[in-house]
């Protein structure tokens, strides 16, 4: 039923640092100097007269080492002083808290870093290979510098580490040993308050491992359980794509249909004639994101239905000719939700519930409205640090939508997502031909790492989707060659990534 494909977890890459498609969080800051960092000042002074490419490479290496030292220091005053002295003007354009938060989060998520080697250094990039003290995981931190002295930092982010040969033992091959290793790993993360959420691993429909950690609501110390409903982030896109495929299978629309056929005036008649359904499904339509200034500064309770969300997308325009480039588009999937309503004659949420959730046995999945009571619903949290370096949890209740929609923001459980994966792969939602279409890349549309609503790359056995936002970090992996399904859902921002990587390594496909 499946071809071999690849799906990778999100990465964090600052602007200009080469990285996988879909990464991209920039951190920049104009910081108040609160205390002088000896190593930072020494590097700045020492680099002031350098100018050759070799000197620039040496400066990039030093900057990478400095970042590791800064993470291990984890002193807010030192961080602000270093940002003020060593970061470029473009980086300092961001609020100081963004940089401080990034570096403090790196410390919190690792327990500190043990430097191993410089993985790369050239005239603009320095990459330090390190190991996280809590888990021993390998990591690579990248620093981009300005080419001219004093070589200030113009970008920071992550790279895939080049792990030394022989540094990792082969993963276990027995499921019992895999489960034991996974349980020990996640419990270690949870004990260090790095992970909060639930994890499930299944094979051929049989649950091998399912466990929950942390708190769903910290105000009331309510624990997470395996039945806790976590925010899906962008994972709703899978449901929207399956709904479209169902309508295509029934002959009610075609992947080749122009948007003009359903929404003749969106975003304008000319663009609607160029955009096809397949462009919307693959993020190649040229549309952007409706999470714009209007959303950021508006009252969330005015956007609950697809039509209400569509008002946020008014005025959108094509950034490129459809099918010629790939650019992640929340507006594209919102528009697909409206197409589903037009073609089916049903409300989007009613359609998805009747045609996807109910057939799959997903009894705890919906776009719940957050101003109404929903039992066992997790609140999302991120760690923040005040001026004295004290950590506080900040919830995300005033940041995301009050009700999710076709592009994301709904809720589900690890068990429901496993049931969705089983229903998809055994043909209960769409036929075999359409499963293959959904979960295969579309390079002919400039989408070589994404299918129709599913992350998918040629040559890998993993398909699925991730979802991330402040206080949201979820992922579904369907291992198409081996029958495994892995679900990781967290109410800490970014916390699912290491667990996802660990599961993939344990299953021999990481």
> Residue 318 in contact with residue 274, Cβ under 8 Å?
yes
pLDDT for the residue numbered 387:
78
Give just the sign of the alpha carbon dihedral 166, 172, 177, 178.
positive
Tell me the pLDDT tens digit for each residue of 226-276.
999 999 999 999 999 999 999 999 999 999 999 999 999 999 999 999 999
* CB neighbours of residue 62 within 10 Å: 21
Model confidence over 348-379: pLDDT tens digits? 999 999 999 999 999 999 999 999 999 999 99
pLDDT computed for residue 49 by the predictor: 40
Q: How far is Cα 341 from Cα 357, in angstroms, rounded to an integer?
A: 17
Q: Supply 97's token pair.
A: 């808290």
Reported as type and span, the H/E element at residue 154 is strand 153-159
What pLDDT, on a 0 to 100 scale, did the predictor assign at position 315?
83
CA distance 289 to 266: 14
Tell me what pLDDT residue 293 has.
Answer: 76
Q: Rounded distance, CA 21 to CA 34, Å?
A: 37
The span from the CA of 110 to the CA of 128, in Å, is: 15
What pLDDT is attached to residue 48? Answer: 39
Per-residue pLDDT at 335: 97
**Which residues, 6+ apart, have CB-to-CB distance to 108 below 8 Å?**
193, 194, 383, 391
Alpha-carbon gap, residue 454 to 333, rounded angstroms: 12
The tokens describing 309, both together, are: 């969300």
CATH number 3.40.710.10 given to 230-506 = yes
Tokens of 282: 């693959």
- Is residue 8 pLDDT above 70, yes or no? no
Alpha-carbon span 152 to 63, nearest angstrom: 8
pLDDT value, residue 350:
98
Res. 300 pLDDT band, cuts 50 70 90? low
Write phi, then psi, for 98 (nearest 5 degrees).
-65, -45
State the Cα–Cα distance between residues 372 and 121, nearest whole angstrom.
Answer: 53
What does the DSSP assignment read for 147-187? SSTT--EEEEEEE---PPTTSSPPPP-SHHHHHHHHHHHHH
Q: Name the residue among 189, 137, 127 with its Cα closest to residue 168.
A: 137
Q: For residue 113, list its beta bridge partners.
A: 132
**279-297: pLDDT as tens digits:** 999 999 999 987 667 767 6
Q: Which residues contact 464 (CB under 8 A, 6 or more apart)?
A: 7, 238, 421, 454, 455, 475, 476, 477, 478
Do residues 402 and 368 touch, judged by C-beta distance below 8 A?
no
Higher pLDDT, 298 or 164: 164
Query: Percentage helix, strand, coil, to 5, in the chain?
Result: 35, 20, 45
Name the H helices within 49-123.
53-73, 76-86, 96-110
Instruction: Report d(CA 281, CA 233) in Å as an integer.
Output: 17
Separation between Cα atoms, residue 71 and residue 269, nearest integer Å = 52
First to last CA, the chain: 22
Residue 403 has pLDDT above 90, yes or no: yes
Residue 461 CA to its chain's centroid (Å) = 20
Query: 201-216 burial, b if ≥16 CB within 10 A, otherwise e?
Result: bbbeeeebbbbbbbbb
* Architecture of the domain made up of 38-159: Roll (3.10)
Report d(CA 358, CA 428) in Å as an integer.
Answer: 11
At residue 89, the pLDDT reads 95
Q: Note the maximum CA span of the chain.
A: 70
Q: Kindly tell me if the per-residue pLDDT of 17 is higher than 60.
A: no
Q: In the structure, what pLDDT confidence band is assigned to residue 29 with cuts at 50, 70 and 90?
A: very low
Helices 53-73, 96-110: inter-axial angle, 10-degree rounding: 70
Query: Quick one: pLDDT at residue 39?
Result: 30
Domain boundaries, the chain: 38-159, 230-506
For the residues 36-62, what does the mean pLDDT come to? 58
pLDDT digits (tens, 9 = 90+) for 103-160: 999 999 999 999 999 999 999 999 999 999 999 999 999 999 999 999 999 999 999 9
Give me 116's structure tokens: 């191993």
Strand order from edge to edge, sheet including 206-213? 206-213, 197-203, 484-490, 472-479, 462-469
């Amino acid at each position: 039923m499946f071809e071999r494909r690849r799906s990778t977890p999100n990465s964090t890459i600052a602007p200009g640092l080469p990285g996988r498609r879909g990464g991209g969080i920039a951190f920049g800051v104009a910081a108040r100097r609160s205390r002088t960092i000896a190593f930072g000042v020494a590097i700045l002074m020492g680099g002031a007269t350098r100018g050759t490419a070799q000197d620039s490479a040496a400066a990039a290496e030093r900057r990478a080492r400095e970042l590791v030292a800064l993470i291990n220091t984890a002193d807010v005053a030192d961080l602000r002083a270093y940002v003020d002295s060593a970061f470029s003007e473009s980086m300092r354009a961001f609020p100081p808290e963004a940089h401080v938060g990034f570096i403090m989060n790196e410390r919190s998520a690792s327990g500190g870093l043990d430097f191993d080697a410089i993985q790369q250094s050239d005239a603009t990039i320095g990459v330090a290979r390190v190991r996280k003290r809590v888990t021993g995981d390998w990591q690579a931190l990248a620093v981009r510098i300005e080419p001219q002295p004093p070589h200030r930092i113009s970008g920071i982010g992550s790279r895939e580490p080049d792990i030394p040969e022989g540094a990792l033992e082969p993963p276990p091959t027995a499921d019992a040993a895999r489960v034991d290793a996974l349980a020990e790993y996640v419990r270690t993360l949870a004990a260090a308050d790095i992970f909060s959420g639930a994890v499930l691993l299944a094979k051929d429909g049989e649950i091998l491992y399912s466990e929950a950690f942390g708190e769903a609501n910290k105000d009331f110390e309510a624990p997470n359980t395996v039945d806790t409903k976590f925010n899906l982030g962008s994972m709703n896109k899978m449901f929207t794509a399956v709904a479209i495929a169902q309508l295509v299978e029934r002959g009610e629309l075609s992947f080749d249909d122009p948007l003009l056929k359903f929404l003749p005036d969106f975003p304008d008649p000319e663009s609607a004639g160029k955009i096809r359904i397949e462009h919307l499904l693959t993020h190649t339509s040229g549309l952007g994101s409706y999470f714009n200034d209007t959303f950021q500064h508006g009252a969330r309770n005015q956007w609950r239905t697809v039509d209400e969300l569509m008002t946020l997308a008014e005025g959108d325009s094509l950034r490129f000719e459809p099918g010629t480039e790939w650019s992640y588009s929340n507006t594209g999937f919102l528009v697909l939700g409206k197409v589903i309503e037009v073609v089916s004659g049903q409300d989007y949420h009613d359609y998805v519930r009747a045609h996807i959730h109910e057939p799959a046995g997903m009894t705890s999945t919906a776009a719940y409205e957050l101003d109404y009571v929903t039992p066992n619903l997790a609140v999302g949290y991120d760690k923040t640090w005040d001026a004295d370096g004290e950590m506080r949890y900040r919830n995300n209740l005033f940041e995301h939508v009050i009700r999710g929609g076709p592009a994301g923001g709904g809720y589900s459980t690890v068990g429901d997502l496993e049931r969705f994966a089983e229903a998809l792969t055994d043909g209960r939602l769409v036929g075999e031909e359409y499963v293959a279409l959904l979960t295969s890349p579309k390079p002919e549309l400039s989408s070589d790492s994404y299918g129709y609503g599913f992350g998918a790359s040629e040559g890998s056995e993993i398909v699925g989707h991730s979802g991330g936002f402040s206080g949201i970090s979820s992922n579904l992996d369907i291992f198409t060659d081996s029958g495994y399904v892995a679900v990781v859902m967290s109410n800490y921002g970014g916390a699912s990534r290491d667990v996802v990587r660990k599961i993939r390594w344990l299953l021999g496909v990481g």
